[in-house]
Chains A and B, each alone.
Chain A
Amino acid sequence: MFPLRWPASWNGVWNLDVLKGTPVGCLLDAPQDVAAAAESRGLKSSKRDALPDTAFVSDPVWPGVRASQKADVADAGPTGAPWIDSNGWNIALTQAEAAGKTVWVESAPEKGAVLRDGSYLLALAEPEIYGARWVINLDDEFAKGVAAGEGNAAGRWKSLMSAARFFDSRRAWSSFDRRAKLAVVSSFAGSSEFLGKEFLNMADRRNLPYRIVTADGVSKGLPGGPQAVLWIDEEPPGAGAARVLRQFVNDGGLLIASRGSRISGWGASSVPSLIPGYETKALGKGRVAVPAQAWDDPYILARDARILIGRRTDVLRLFNTGSMAALYARSNSDRRGIVHLLNYTLGRGARDVSVAPGDRYTSAAITTLDHPTPEPAKVVLAEKGFSEVAVPQFSVYAAVELTGSKET
């Protein structure tokens, strides 16, 4: 069931006919008469601030490669690659901070923006791969076109609803366990807000999957059996958190901690650091790495974390993915896995992509929004347990379904 923000230009109950037979099941902030009529048709209706079990992602962006002022040029990010506006990290953070709640993303296109085909499909697909849901939010022109049954708008609406049905029928994927070897611990507030949040954004760009643990939640333990923990805040952990982190390192984990955390005093003996600018100490079976100077650049922090953690235990390797997001999740109940791929360029550059999850699988099938019927794909067992699958060209979203997992 998808929520829909009632378009301002839909000024009558009769506009509800557009929703007949679609996966739209809830209207947000609809006028009273529409809300009443909707409920009589079996649809839910609510004001946005009257949904206690739903958390909204704050400050969502319209996903895509950021358009440049210059014609035919995309703005570049710090990597020199095009800058991508994405909500993935923000969804994950909202899920961590509002555990147990449904997460909705109400991103809307900028007024007057000229949207490419597929832009709405990306807005719908992005929250799905992270287990959240988009509040369908049409721009004025699109909404008017849909209401009028105008050909182009009607076609785009039809494909948007097909995509919604596609994800609705595959909701079980969101119960799969997202694979990550890094736990990121922060309050994500105050002086840690910029560094913490932007680190998550940059880590997504570096294909460095993570679980988020709030600073006050770490004393309860580190879920998911991480290999590394990143303590971002410039304050020392409290007694409970320190106990958990010490135990984690003693058991063989890597703790990357801020300069101000005072964790540099924990280790007994210095060991060679993998990269310049860090002091690394051994503690029990594990290591503690602390920077010589306080972090201030999330891009550099994401780079350093990527290197300090290393590639040996990658959960997913990607080839030719360019401006894409990827997420690998695995079923805990059976031997199934899923790799989601989102193409922020909406078709351009999504060629010759290969994915290689770090588990062994025997068969694969690929589904895209362009071709929703699963197509079998060959699994090539690459080095030491990685299963490589070549993905055919796709425009917005592709799912690589894997079966026969044997943990490596």
Chain B
Amino acid sequence: MRDMTRRDWLTGSVAAALASGFNARAQTTPAPAAPVAVARCNSYGAEVTPTLNRMFDQLGGLRSIVGGKTVAIKLNLTGGPEQRLGHLPNGVTYWTHPAVIGATVHLMGLAGARRIRLLESPWATIEPLEDFMLAANWEPRDFANAARLVEFENTNYLGSGKQYARFMVPKGGHMFRGFDLNHSYRDCDVFVSIAKLKEHATAGITLSMKNCFGITPCTIYGEGAGVDEPSIAPRSGRGPFHAGNRQPSKSALPENDPTSPRDGGYRVPRIVADLAAARPIHLAIIDGIQTINTGEGCWIPGVTPVAPGVLIAGTNPVSTDAVSMAIMGFDPMADRGRAPFEKCDNTLRLAEELGVGTRDLKRIEVRGASIADVRFPFRAKPRA
């Protein structure tokens, strides 16, 4: 997919649609569907690589996705490397586990990926991603040795790029017309999101799309971002995305409607949907072997380690997230007021409205294990 240019924006139908009052719900073309592979996987041991390999085959083979390509992989390493839930390493709670990352990199290397770049925007730092991993007692060399030409980049600032890359949101976006991101999200042929199977305190769930909330640099969109130009270094988190208490640096595009609700349950799902449309995800992988329930990290009160023992992968992030939600015991068609969206809008619906993909399970072919085989309800009873 070609990135939309400013000329496209100014002259094309997108601007016209927005000017005439874009109503995504009125779009009639059905959002695309794609198969989703599901597999039981009970540990982070030797079974991870063959299980993922089988799942990629069920999706048509990894070679067709990454062969000869530069692949960028967004990980989920939320929070600080020195924070943990209890004494547990973060890989078995709320980070994507290194075994899943390593296996994916290895299989992509075997499938002919030309270059693999691991990406994350670590909390409020310009520290190299490898060092962030080391601080968590991970060994980044394990990933570097898993395939030919593996690179790392901290995407929470300009990084090794000369300028930020602009990504426009098809159909004008719910909250933003476009985003300025680290060059690594442009300098790739294939974009992969490796997420964790988790609930989220603000957005209800955090799966392959919500993982990409973290592709936005806090130098532009964060609490301490520069007013006119991006700051050199990120100083805090993405509070302004949640609360709408300030606009991004003026060098980036502002919100479509600064008078829209300042409620995180309204804003975050829309921004996630916009990002999923602007920076398309070609492969979504969800680590549900071990995770936590109730929220996205150890800072959420009441989170508890759980072991669903499942891996999920698909080439459409909305469909993959829909199947993941069903495995978690949630209805992907649920709207605000129903679990897990008691206090927020449904990100999947919003992404579907932008044409990213379908959340309708009737239209999604599940390959490998069935949803019923691996269902792991995250809530025994409805939460108030």
Contacts and interface: CB of A to CB of B under 8 A. Distances in A.
* Chains A and B form a bound pair: yes
Interface of A: 80, 272, 274-277, 303, 306-307, 310-312, 314, 317-321, 352, 354, 356, 382-384, 386, 388, 390
B137 A352 contact: no
A394 to B, nearest CB: 14
B242 interface: no
Given A307-B126, A307-B128, A383 B137 contact: yes
B134 A311 contact: yes
In the A-B complex, the 10 residue pairs with the closest CB atoms: A311-B134, A311-B131, A390-B87, A383-B139, A382-B137, A352-B86, A319-B84, A307-B127, A311-B135, A383-B137
Interface SS of chain B: loop
Interface in B87-141: 87, 125-128, 131-132, 134-135, 137-139
Given A312-B134, A318-B82, A383-B138, A274 B128 contact: yes
Interface string B205-243: 000000000000000000000000000110010000000
A356 B131 CA distance: 16
B83 A317 contact: no
Interface size class of B (residues with CB under 8 A): 20 to 34
Nearest to A309: B131
Contacts of B150: none
B136 to A, nearest CB: 8
Contact of B137 (A277, A312, A386): A386
A80 B233 CA distance: 16
B87 A352 contact: yes
A311 B132 CA distance: 8
Contacts of B86: 352
A106 B128 CA distance: 41
A312 B139 CA distance: 9
Contacts of A306: 127
A384 B132 CA distance: 16
A312 B137 CA distance: 10
Given A276-B158, A277-B232, A307-B128, A320 B83 contact: yes
Nearest to A389: B87
B300 to A, nearest CB: 15
20 contacts: A274-B128, A276-B126, A276-B158, A276-B232, A276-B233, A277-B232, A303-B125, A307-B127, A310-B128, A310-B131, A310-B134, A311-B127, A311-B132, A317-B82, A317-B137, A318-B82, A319-B82, A320-B84, A383-B138, A383-B139
Contacts of A274: 128
A207 to B, nearest CB: 8
